[in-house]
Structure 1
Amino acid sequence: MSGRPIIGITSYAQPAKWGAWELPAALVPLMYVESVERAGGRPLLVPPSEHGVDETLDVLDGVIFSGGIDIDPSRYGADRHPATDPAQAHRDAGELALLAAALERDVPTLAICRGFQLLNVLRGGDLVQHLPETVGHDRHRETPGVFSQHPVDVKEGTRLAAILGARHESVRSSHHQGVGRVGEGLVESAWAEDGSLEGLEDPTRRFAVGVLWHPEMEEDDKRLFEALVAEARAYRAERRAGSA
């Protein structure tokens, strides 16, 4: 039962450039990796694939669904808005399969930004494809490539409140989409000042928490990662005890 729990982090799979090279790559911003390591976990990148989901989860003690490109609106029965990103069908399919299996196994799960939206879509919810049209401003993503900052209010009695308290004064956001209809079995747990939903969780799972902001960008506050890693450590111990 010794050793760090292994935390999978879903990765982008798209063209990238480094040095003299420009090639298709499976990658994730380093802040996710560093946040898991600081919380006591061992990060492992998980490229999107519909194949080998069970084998992947056999290895993992917890999983983070990272941010990234918009989900294909056909996944929640909507037509594409002009502001919605071009589809990445391979990532949508692979991550939906992994998320469904992770929740079925009760693997500790933290869903961030795109992952938060993915959780809602998996449970039959839908998305607001361009949030500024609903809230009347673009303060959730003022400048592409630069994180915006704003507070969120957290609902008392939720898992998120137990981790963060009733108010989180400054979160880092970079999204233009939000949740419309909330998916089955999910509890709303946090809101921005404009009323848009920023947190979801499934209280029937040991740890299934989603946030629309980017906690990996918070330099001094790693409580969400620490909570995930703590649950992953307990999950790891229970699995090993059960197989002994």
Structure 2
Amino acid sequence: MRQKIVIGVTDCSKYLKYSNWILGHSEAVEVIQLSHWANNFEDIEKCQGILLTGGEDVHPKFYNKPELYKYCYETDINEARDEFELKVLQYTEANNIPVLGICRGLQIANVFFGGTLIPDIPIWGKFNHSKLPDDSDRYHKITVDPSSWLYTIIYKQEGTVNSNHHQSADIIGEGLVVSALSPDGVVEALERRYPKGKSFLCLVQWHPERLNDPESNFVKNIRAAFVEAAAG
């Protein structure tokens, strides 16, 4: 009997959305919840892939700009989670573990690689990318770099994705490159600048786990590529 692929999913308020999305791909997948609350970092040793979920703002002190704290949503700051997930990324890089980062997952990964964040997108002069007044996701177009690694997964230069965030990548981390942008220039995806010989690293700002079209290439192709990478 084939051994199950174990995916570690970082804890957040919508954890079940992410875990169910990954589990829905295949009966061969098992999920482990990785949480600073449970203090179960050692469970990462059982995982063949890591999904970094959405959630709270990243504290600006982790990208050496503590003065930007005033632009964050204070109730959404969780330094213990930041520290836990930075430690997770340190482990995945050291052990060549595939990583899929979603929304905050993109942001904390960019910080891990030495990048910075825009702490509040509208204040920085771009369109509002947070949820709509009725609490639903916003939707907008994005453009994918046709020469990017991401394009070899999605096979689309344009698409419509959902959006619910007020922070985004600013200065891009070392070894990373932008692979998709919104029309107003907000970073929608990051990848390795030189992916050859390196572990899978796909960082997206949208939410494939709840996009209204589950058959979109921006959903199913990303999930399939990630699980395949975790399977080895």
Q: Do they fold alike, i.e. is TM over 0.5?
A: yes
- 1:9 lines up with 2:9 in the alignment: yes
Higher-Rg structure is 1
Query: Which runs of 5 or more residues in structure 2 are unaligned?
Result: none
TM-superposition CA deviations, 1:20-71 (whole Å, max 9, x none): xxxxxxx534221221112222222111279664x32320010100000000
SS of aligned partner of 2:68: coil
Give the equivalent residue in structure 1 for 2:19: 33
Amino acid at match of 2:60: P
CA contact (8 A) 1:127 1:179 kept: yes
CA contact (8 A) 1:50 1:98 kept: no
Distance change in 2, residues 1:144/1:63 (3 Å): farther
The separation in 2 between residues aligned to 1:143 and 1:81, in whole angstroms, is: 25
Give the equivalent residue in structure 1 for 2:85: 95
SS of aligned partner of 1:80: helix
Amino acid at match of 2:17: M
The separation in 2 between residues aligned to 1:77 and 1:211, in whole angstroms, is: 23
CA contact (8 A) 1:50 1:97 kept: no
Give the equivalent residue in structure 1 for 2:105: 115
The separation in 1 between residues aligned to 2:25 and 2:149, in whole angstroms, is: 18
Give the equivalent residue in structure 2 for 1:85: 73
- 1:74 lines up with 2:65 in the alignment: no
User: Which region of structure 1 is more displaced relative to structure 2, 127-136 or 147-156?
Assistant: 127-136
CA contact (8 A) 2:146 2:157 kept: no
CA contact (8 A) 1:154 1:165 kept: no
The Cα of 1:164 is off from its aligned counterpart by 1.1
The Cα of 1:225 is off from its aligned counterpart by 1.1
Give the equivalent residue in structure 2 for 1:48: 36
The separation in 2 between residues aligned to 1:42 and 1:50, in whole angstroms, is: 19
Among the aligned pairs, what percent are the same residue?
A: 29
- 1:220 lines up with 2:215 in the alignment: yes
CA contact (8 A) 2:17 2:210 kept: yes
The separation in 1 between residues aligned to 2:14 and 2:3, in whole angstroms, is: 24
1:61 to 28, 45, 48: 48
User: Which region of structure 1 is more displaced relative to structure 2, 76-85 or 122-131?
Assistant: 76-85
The separation in 2 between residues aligned to 1:114 and 1:35, in whole angstroms, is: 17
For the aligned residue pairs, the C-alpha RMSD in angstroms reads 2.1
SS of aligned partner of 1:35: helix
- 1:200 lines up with 2:213 in the alignment: no
User: Which region of structure 1 is more displaced relative to structure 2, 189-198 or 73-82?
Assistant: 73-82
The separation in 1 between residues aligned to 2:15 and 2:125, in whole angstroms, is: 29
- 1:181 lines up with 2:167 in the alignment: no
The separation in 2 between residues aligned to 1:59 and 1:139, in whole angstroms, is: 36
> What TM-score does the superposition give when structure 2 sets the normalisation length?
0.86
2:150 to 156, 160, 163: 160
TM-superposition CA deviations, 1:141-196 (whole Å, max 9, x none): 44484211112111123221111123342111100111111000002111011111
CA contact (8 A) 1:117 1:127 kept: yes
